[in-house]
Structure 1
């Protein structure tokens, strides 16, 4: 038997990959996700069914991916389906329930105040088990299963670290840029003469001191660069925050804002606030970032305790 692990690319997939080793499931895994340089690198050697991109609130794409996933259930060998969202969960989990397959939806750790649109839709599907990664809004319907950020602890370094090698990552959104971050951060890094890997997504870098911007960087290359860097600066996405922690870095996170057309809503403020509360990020607005903030983050490290508990599904 095989369990399907279903997630959109980016932060949703990064969370599920990290949580997979804590799932109380003994069967083999098959992944269902979108092919990107990051996801192909992250899932190298895994059993994967590739589907089409699922932009936010794109009904046509959700229906297309439902059709692509349908043959997986006709074979009748799926023991369970687990998803961390977003639109792919809506494409796949209702089909799983029609076939009587146990289905588990784990809401993104980003959602600290309540479920996403995908979560609210799936809450209407009988038999889908619903889980939150934030105990503050757990309920009879939404059980608390634990969080992808459980077990991480910050530790200051003995001495202040110079900011000389930096990774700046704005995620891989195909729709939203984040020029405000670059406008304030790029001049600071230029003045200190730092060596920088710029992963800029769709953001326009025209006129900014941003050398060799790259829209996407394979996951293994990005992770290696983070491990070697003094500092990681990023939008407040769950995936990139988790990558930074796994590289031992305390990231500087800047939330995207809907009012500036940087995202569909302000959910990145939620993830930034949660990580700040846990002591796992330096959080600033785009126009408030200073060199002192960068030095503060660079002069700390982060580690994972070995006793992170299995998810309580």
Structure 2
């Protein structure tokens, strides 16, 4: 399943929702799709959708999804990161009247460049290829995220080896 969320900002994000619906219609997306459309006016024809989704259901959708696609609001893409998923982030853009300025574009670009933990999509025409190649993209990211538990265990093993 692919879960898409555009948050609760009052400006529509029809561009993303329409693109996902088109990709589902043309078969580029094979997975089931659930979209949280927020204040968007476009109503998907090929995907399951709700304007707003209760928080616990959002958490479940993120956990159950193979791919999570979000707008560039930090709260929306932090949730998938917290459960170990690499979100595709499509920031809202001022030129399309999706937000008051381009802070989402700048923020997503910076997180992508500095942390390497999200897939930043500024050109929506590339979204189909990114979804199709998602697993390979994530595998090649090498964002260096590692568990502190693994580090702790490695250090503990070294100490135990020294004792014997």
TM-score (norm 2): 0.75
Residue 234 of structure 1 contacts residue 251 of structure 1 at CA under 8 Å; is this kept in 2? yes
Q: Distance in 1 between matches of 2:24 and 2:70?
A: 14
Q: CA deviation at 1:304?
A: 6.2
Q: What corresponds to 1:281 in structure 2?
A: 118
- Give a deviation string over 1:99-143, Cα, whole Å, max 9, x none: xxxxxxxxxxxxxxxxxxxxxxxxxxxxxxxxxxxxxxxxxxxxx
Q: Distance in 2 between matches of 1:274 and 1:185?
A: 24
Q: CA RMSD in A?
A: 2.3
Q: What corresponds to 2:6 in structure 1?
A: 170
Q: What corresponds to 1:183 in structure 2?
A: 18
Q: Distance in 1 between matches of 2:5 and 2:37?
A: 6
Q: What corresponds to 1:270 in structure 2?
A: 106
* Larger helix share, 1 or 2: 2
Confirm whether residue 306 of structure 1 aligns to residue 148 of structure 2: yes
Residue 170 of structure 1 contacts residue 178 of structure 1 at CA under 8 Å; is this kept in 2? yes
Residue 70 of structure 2 contacts residue 77 of structure 2 at CA under 8 Å; is this kept in 1? yes
- Give a deviation string over 1:45-103, Cα, whole Å, max 9, x none: xxxxxxxxxxxxxxxxxxxxxxxxxxxxxxxxxxxxxxxxxxxxxxxxxxxxxxxxxxx
Structure 1 residue runs of 4 or more that deviate by more than 6 Å after TM superposition: none
Task: Name which one, 1 or 2, has greater alpha-carbon Rg.
Answer: 1
Structure 2 residue runs without a partner (length 5+): 150-164
Structure 1 residue runs without a partner (length 5+): 1-164, 308-313
* Larger strand share, 1 or 2: 1
